[in-house]
A and B are shown apart, each in its own frame.
Chain A
Amino acid sequence: MTSTEEILNVSALNVSYGEAKVLFDVNLSVRAGQIVACVGRNGAGKTTLLRSIAGFVKPTSGSITSRSTSLIGMAAYAIAGLGIKYVPQDKKVFSDLTVRENLELGSYASRDYNWAPVIDYFPRLRQLMDRKAGHLSGGERQMLMIGRAILGRPRLLLVDEPTEGLAPSIVAQLREVFRELSKQTALVMVEQNLPLVCAIAGKVYALHEGRTVAELADRELITPEICERYL
């Protein structure tokens, strides 16, 4: 993956839930190795944007392409098969399965049975292998969800509010994981944690009432004070 390769391009995206229009002509692009953050108030359409890219919501118009492949109309599982993985906001794992079984699900789908990178990022998971996922803490579940998603070395990871409700120590761990991960996997992150966003994002999109109101591509402009204007 070269650093200039465009991994994802969203152009003039419009999304509606029935009669209610949620996204209006949203644009977004992500390059290889880039961490892109989406910020905005609750209800701005950030999660809808990620779910549209992941194939869970069908746009009414616009385009979503990844390496010249249009994602619109593709089933969510097929998009995941292309190496675009979505980690949703809720921290719900498959509670009745153990950590090991959750990871096996990720391995089987991606044909990647090398868990070494996952354990490197989240050593805690090694001790939890035989524990039912329903008995994990919030931070441990997030580790499991991200660990499961990165199997198969996806080209793009869509992460929805990964640090919500987590302890500062876990947030710090995730910050370093995302930094390291971005060397091989581009990230699009919806996040309300501005210090985290400003520490690692190479580009920030601000959404307000379904519209892109700012695109900050200059690292010097990605500061909590500037980002806060759009919240």
Chain B
Amino acid sequence: MNVLRWWGGLLLAFSLLVLLRVFLPLPFANEIVIFSIYAMGCNFLLGRIGFISFGQPAYLAVGAYAAAFYLYYFGANAYIGLLIGVAAGLLVSFVVGPLFVRLRSDYFALVNLALAVIIYYLMQKVLADITHGDNGLWFLTNLSATPVLDLSSPNEFFIFALALAFVVWAFYKYLDDTVYGACCLATKANEDKLRFLGYSNFRIRLLAFVIANTTTALAGALYAVYLGFVSPEITSPMRAADPVVVTLLGGAGTLYGPLVGSIAYTGMKDLVSKAVGNWELIIGFGLVFIMLAGEKGIWGTLEPILKKMLSRARIFAVTGRDGADNP
């Protein structure tokens, strides 16, 4: 495999993000990076396994609150907070995964939503003594400066989050190239055929569930560290559709769909809300239009066009002829 070609797409995409930061306000840029990691988990479940989940806020909250509990009650090192958030996501995924992934896709969507509601009420009411309910946990001033990059500084946080997102994308790109990646697509296409080859669909789905939701928990932990604050609002059922919308908007199953979707969704929200009051209505219509125009999402529609252009450019560079055999 050509190493340059393998890394080239990733480097180009993230270079464009760095360039975008020049024009975008820092909070906006941080939101895009974290939200795209959040959407990546949903993208993997929906695009690769074919499972839609309306419960991603649950795993976001697990990561966020785990990090927050550490940073509020026990320590001040944001790196450790992030690790604890990721570990919590991993643990919860392993506990609920064996039950959830046995369900058919529609029931899977609902049981995850149910989990999000459960966690919402746990954090809002049942555990209010330690979560402070709707008032949330505030720990921004608790955060100590971290070595290498000071995560308590928004600028350095952005650099860290961007580097982390790069690692996440490289991981998913690597996964795509493995037999496991092929197994994920195969289980989505025809799980019976995969069984007859000797694969356990349950194990494939369980691993995908754990990977996706650990990624989501990472996003939750990043939110916690960035904002220095966590409240039950993070797992509100009202926000259940957010990552699904971003995934579909960007292009489900594509590598860069979550990035593109996150930029488009966050951008639309930010721009439209400044201009009109009922911005959710405008965004709703905008999403319907985009879906009708290209049901593969923005990147899902653009990617094949760009690949074709790139292929023709390569042919022209080598032969002096375009792909249609015209000199």
Q: Do the two chains belong together in a single complex? A: yes
In the bound assembly, the distance between CA atoms of A104 and B185 in angstroms comes to 13
Which B residue sits closest to A108, measured CB to CB? B179
Classify chain A's interface size. 20 to 34
Contact residues of A between 54 and 92, Cβ < 8 Å to B: 54-56, 75-77, 80-81, 85-88, 92
Q: How many A-B residue pairs have CB under 8 A?
A: 65
Contact of A94 among B185, B195, B200, B201 (CB under 8 A): B185
Binds A, one of B87-95, B99-107, B186-194, B283-291: B186-194
Residues A101 and B182 in contact in the complex (CB < 8 Å), given A77-B198, A110-B198? yes
Contact residues of B between 131 and 179, Cβ < 8 Å to A: 179
Contact of B182 among A55, A56, A88, A104 (CB under 8 A): A104
Whether the pair A54, B198 counts as a contact (CB closer than 8 A) is no
What per-residue 1/0 map shows which CB atoms of A79-120 lie under 8 Å from chain B?
011000111100011111100010011101110000000000
Instruction: Output the least CB separation between A69 and chain B (Å).
Output: 15
Instruction: Output the least CB separation between A72 and chain B (Å).
Output: 16
Which A residue sits closest to B183, measured CB to CB? A105
Whether the pair A94, B198 counts as a contact (CB closer than 8 A) is no
Which A residue sits closest to B203, measured CB to CB? A77
From DSSP, what is the main secondary structure of chain B's interface residues?
helix
Residues A88 and B193 in contact in the complex (CB < 8 Å), given A104-B182, A108-B179? yes
Instruction: Output the least CB separation between B107 and chain A (Å).
Output: 21
Q: Is B238 an interface residue (CB 8 A)?
A: no
In the bound assembly, the distance between CA atoms of A56 and B201 in angstroms comes to 13
Q: Is A31 an interface residue (CB 8 A)?
A: no
Q: Is A155 an interface residue (CB 8 A)?
A: no
Residues A148 and B182 in contact in the complex (CB < 8 Å), given A56-B192, A92-B190? no
Q: Is B28 an interface residue (CB 8 A)?
A: no
Residues A94 and B196 in contact in the complex (CB < 8 Å), given A104-B179, A105-B179, A108-B179? no
In the bound assembly, the distance between CA atoms of A101 and B186 in angstroms comes to 10
Q: A56-B196, A76-B195 are in contact. List 20 more A-B contacts (CB 8 A).
A: A55-B195, A75-B200, A76-B196, A77-B194, A77-B198, A77-B199, A80-B197, A85-B196, A85-B197, A94-B185, A97-B182, A97-B186, A101-B182, A104-B182, A105-B179, A105-B186, A105-B197, A105-B199, A110-B198, A148-B197
